[in-house]
Structure 1
Amino acid sequence: MLKGKSRPYTRLSSMHLTPTLQRLLDQGYDAFAHYRKPTALETSPLRNPEKLLERLTSKPLRLLEVEDVQEYAAAALTTVGTVDDYKHFLPRLLDLSVDSAVVEPEVIALKLKAADWLAWPQNQKRVVEQIFAEACGQAFRQHPDKHFANKWLVSLAILNVDLNKILIEIETSNNDFCALQLAHLILSELPFASDPFERGYWMEVPDNTLQETRTWLLSQEIRRLLLSVRWRIGSKDAGLLDRALAKQEQLVRHRHQ
């Protein structure tokens, strides 16, 4: 298996690849290595399976670029391919989801849910969850102008894993960007929309997880975090925190009515 990776398709929203995240991605390749690339693809009549397969198998797995997998990433399991096919490509899709804005972790999470991923072998479940959790933690340590961490948090919520550990890590982080990411999420109002169709990918989150996340975002602990960062951060970002604090107060009042 190739150990080096090509990263030719970079975007402003790409995430800094920490040694831990790199190690987990490598473990992902290893965990799914025995799923061989398909020799044929089952597709709907509206697709060209030969052309799609040619694009997907034109290079070694680790060298596939966003353009090679983009159509498959969106259509897998619904109109293209099987669960075993998806397991073959999953490590590269996870890799590219960290590296680009095109392969969305939320879409991967929905595909995993459709593939009944919680029934997969333990080593596969573990590495997938660890990749999502590490990517989420790393995203919260970046400025929201560069990377919106919500995409990883909602992905974990879609996967229906226990969020307590990652929420505690975010809440207790000494990184000011965590507060900015939380402010951005609160201001987006996505988890709080009464109409499910206005929640974005939060619409796909189990109701109990959604309610727990709402409670956490409106908690005094998060308010204290936003306030503590407010007094030491630059003027541009202070405005973001002020707006988030006001929005949080408004959402709390609305919840108690």
Structure 2
Amino acid sequence: MLDALDLRQRLDGAYDAFAPYSRPLVLHVSPLRDSEKLLKQLTSKPMRLLSVEDVQEYASAALTTVGTLEDYKYFLPRLINLAMESGVVEPEMIALKLKGSEWWAWPKNEQRSLKEIFVYACMNAFKQHPDDHLAGKWLVSLAILTTDLGEVRTYILAYNNDCCALQIAHLLLSDTLFARNPSERAYWEYVPETTVNETRSWLLCEETRSLLLSVGSRTASNDAWLLEKAIARQEELIQDRVN
């Protein structure tokens, strides 16, 4: 099972993998942005100490209107680190930028490090309460990276705990994953249709249903309503498939 030490080791591995890239001395930006101010925000302290406020503008604009790929690789470990800690830096946006940069053609150690840390971050998120972290953000990020989700889905159900069930409930109640129109799927729009359908089937399978029912029957917390709604939603979606 995953623990905090495993996750920290993967994160340290990402810092090591991208250590050859140098801190930028100049940022090439759109004329609408303040290059000097942005560079100061990003370089006024050691990278591992950069805050969400320091990187927020860069995280969304990188590779489109700010900076080069080499710049992005330098900051990438810290961006992933902050994505684990805060909803402000979105893992989905990082995944889209990696996909647009053809990360599968990067050096093997960089590919391996990224895959490991996204997988472990996703699995770790499914062990957290949804009020603290939404695991669906990491699941769709993995799907955007075209990572095979089969093993990850198996591990998630093996957790068989309350937080895992609540995270799955959030996915079932989402209006995006099950939207028929791809343009209404938010970040799932960027995921291959095969992966979308496989993820839907996983959420509607008997093993997932058993997890929701078992946790729902034993919990007396304020989260019971969420599980009840998810179980009802699952039944509706299964019926839609049958019909």
* Equivalent residue in structure 1 for 2:67, among 81, 84, 101: 81
- Establish whether residue 201 from structure 1 lines up as the match of residue 184 from structure 2: no
Deviation at 1:227, TM superposition (A): 1.3
Deviations 1:59-97 (A, max 9, x none): 111111111111110001111111111100001101111
Identity of aligned residues (%): 59
SS at match of 1:236: coil
Q: 1:125 corresponds to which residue?
A: 111
Name the amino acid aligned to 1:211: N
Query: How far apart, in 2, do the equivalents of 1:57 and 1:142 lie?
Result: 32
Name the amino acid aligned to 1:43: V
Query: How far apart, in 1, do the equivalents of 2:161 and 2:6 lie?
Result: 18
| Conservation of the 8 A alpha-carbon contact between 2:182 and 2:189 | yes
Deviation at 1:213, TM superposition (A): 0.6
SS at match of 1:118: helix
Q: 1:237 corresponds to which residue?
A: 223
Deviation at 1:21, TM superposition (A): 0.9
Superposed CA RMSD in Å reads 1.4
- Establish whether residue 30 from structure 1 lines up as the match of residue 16 from structure 2: yes
TM normalised by structure 1 equals: 0.90
TM normalised by structure 2 equals: 0.95
Deviation at 1:182, TM superposition (A): 0.4
Query: How far apart, in 1, do the equivalents of 2:236 and 2:67 lie?
Result: 46
Q: 1:9 corresponds to which residue?
A: none
Greater than 2 Å deviation, 4+ residue runs: 195-198, 235-239
Query: How far apart, in 2, do the equivalents of 1:118 and 1:165 lie?
Result: 20
Deviation at 1:235, TM superposition (A): 4.6
Taking the TM superposition and a 5 Å limit, the aligned residue runs for 1:89-238 are 89-238=75-224
Gaps of 5+ in 2: none
Deviation at 1:187, TM superposition (A): 1.0
Deviations 1:186-238 (A, max 9, x none): 01232101233332211121111111111111111211111122221225333
| Conservation of the 8 A alpha-carbon contact between 2:59 and 2:89 | yes
* Equivalent residue in structure 1 for 2:234, among 248, 252, 255: 248
Query: How far apart, in 2, do the equivalents of 1:74 and 1:182 lie?
Result: 28
Query: How far apart, in 2, do the equivalents of 1:127 and 1:21 lie?
Result: 12
| Conservation of the 8 A alpha-carbon contact between 2:160 and 2:211 | no
SS at match of 1:168: helix
- Aligned residue pair count: 241
Q: 1:14 corresponds to which residue?
A: none
Query: How far apart, in 1, do the equivalents of 2:62 and 2:232 lie?
Result: 42
SS at match of 1:190: coil
